[in-house]
Amino acid sequence: MRLVRFGSPGQEKPGAVDVQGQIRDLSGIVGDIDAVTLAPAALEKLQALDLASLPLVAEGTRLGACVGNVPNLICIGLNYSDHAEETNAPIPSQPVVFNKHTGSISGPNDPVILPTGAQKLDWEVELAIVIGTPAWQIDESRALDHVAGYCLANDVSERAYQLEYEGQWTKGKSGFSFAPLGPWMVTRDEMPDPQVLDLWLDVNGKRLQTGNTRTMIFSVADIVAYLSRFMPLKAGDVIFTGTPPGVGLGQKPPVFLRVGDTMRVGGQGLGEQFQQVVPYTEKLGAAWVNGQYPQASRIR
């Protein structure tokens, strides 16, 4: 099953994609695509629905992030050996863990905002894990039982803030719009092996990232079990699993995003995203404070 959220920013409703690729409105069935809906019993009820009997969502309606009310946004860094090499980083012996602020989450086709003074805005296509059942001190053999599904993510990063400022990576990873999610979350039953998925990303129409999750250093099961040793994972948590090579920092010479640049992001079975880089303005900042997101793209 492919689950989505649609509508104006802050007012998204739950939906599902039917076999014809049309979005059906689930708002009469569930309140949101969040921790309650992602529980195994709730997902089973949704999967038993006749989607054709539900209202159609108008074509052109904006898509929001495919998961709402995310408690925690956790990330794994340097999880592809060739990406570690291109950034001159040692291959990790254990998962590199950091956080993005949940305020960075945006819709899959919403614009990416270039912060004032930012000079090294970068892209990272990633597979994201969505937790459905809380996990604490679990074994790798049971880790996938705690996964509700998977979605596509773009781990947008400001490299100067991440690497050249003192402290942790979080401040280079957490700008508003730095975590586009979706277009949909695909439930785990439809993606039984997350380690065979192609991922790709184009900048201004040029393919710069091509990878496959089979080359991840730490698998999805490894990551969920490892994280559960150090933190209680909650239903609705989203985990970014790392990016394959081809990021801007790894180009020779490095290439970074500028206003007007576009990104098309894709994953096997995960759909596609499209973002354009726009500058931060006071008007845009005020709109965000008021729960609005101007210039949001529509379903593509």
Q: What are phi and psi of 183, to 5 degrees?
A: -75, -25
299 band by pLDDT with thresholds 50, 70 and 90:
very low
pLDDT tens-digit series, residues 252-295: 999 999 999 999 999 999 999 999 999 998 887 777 667 666 54
Query: Is residue 205, in this structure, part of any structural domain at all?
Result: yes
296 band by pLDDT with thresholds 50, 70 and 90:
very low
Query: Is residue 230, in this structure, part of any structural domain at all?
Result: yes
Q: Is 8 exposed, middle or buried (0-12, 13-18, 19+ CB in 10 A)?
A: middle
Q: What range defines the domain where residue 252 resides?
A: 71-288
Alpha-carbon distance 217 to 68, whole Å? 29
298 band by pLDDT with thresholds 50, 70 and 90:
very low
| 105 SS3 class | strand
pLDDT of residue 294: 53
Query: Is residue 21, in this structure, part of any structural domain at all?
Result: no
Alpha-carbon distance 156 to 179, whole Å? 6
Q: What is the mean pLDDT of residues 49-72?
A: 97
CA within 13 Å, CB half, 58:
5
Question: Residue 146's closest CA among 76, 232, 74, 69?
Answer: 232
CA 150 from centre of chain: 9
CA 203 from centre of chain: 18
Query: Is residue 193, in this structure, part of any structural domain at all?
Result: yes
> What residues does 3 pair with on adjacent strands?
16, 185
Query: Is residue 124, in this structure, part of any structural domain at all?
Result: yes
pLDDT of residue 82: 81
pLDDT tens-digit series, residues 204-261: 999 999 999 999 999 999 999 999 999 999 999 999 999 999 999 999 999 999 999 9
| 257 SS3 class | strand
Alpha-carbon distance 15 to 17, whole Å? 7
Which residue type sits at 165?
Y
Alpha-carbon distance 36 to 215, whole Å? 33
Query: Is residue 42, in this structure, part of any structural domain at all?
Result: no
> What residues does 206 pair with on adjacent strands?
203
Confidence (pTM)? 0.95
Q: Is the pLDDT of residue 53 over 80?
A: yes
* Domain tally, the chain: 1
CATH of the domain at 91: 3.90.850.10
Query: Is residue 115, in this structure, part of any structural domain at all?
Result: yes
Is 130 in contact with 236 (CB distance < 8 Å)? yes
Sequence-separated (6 or more) residues with CB below 8 Å from residue 237: 70, 71, 72, 73, 74, 130, 131
pLDDT of residue 89: 80
- SS3 of 139-183: CHHHHHHHEEEEEEEECCEEHHHHHHCCCCCHHHHCCCCCEEEEE
pLDDT tens-digit series, residues 66-107: 999 999 999 999 999 888 778 778 889 999 999 999 999 999
pLDDT of residue 168: 85
Is 14 in contact with 5 (CB distance < 8 Å)? yes
- Token code pair at residue 247: 């990021």
Which residue type sits at 143?
A
Mean pLDDT of the chain: 94
pLDDT of residue 297: 44
Query: Is residue 60, in this structure, part of any structural domain at all?
Result: no
H or E segment to which residue 13 belongs: strand 13-17
- DSSP letter at 251? S
Q: What are phi and psi of 119, to 5 degrees?
A: -125, -10
Is 126 in contact with 242 (CB distance < 8 Å)? yes
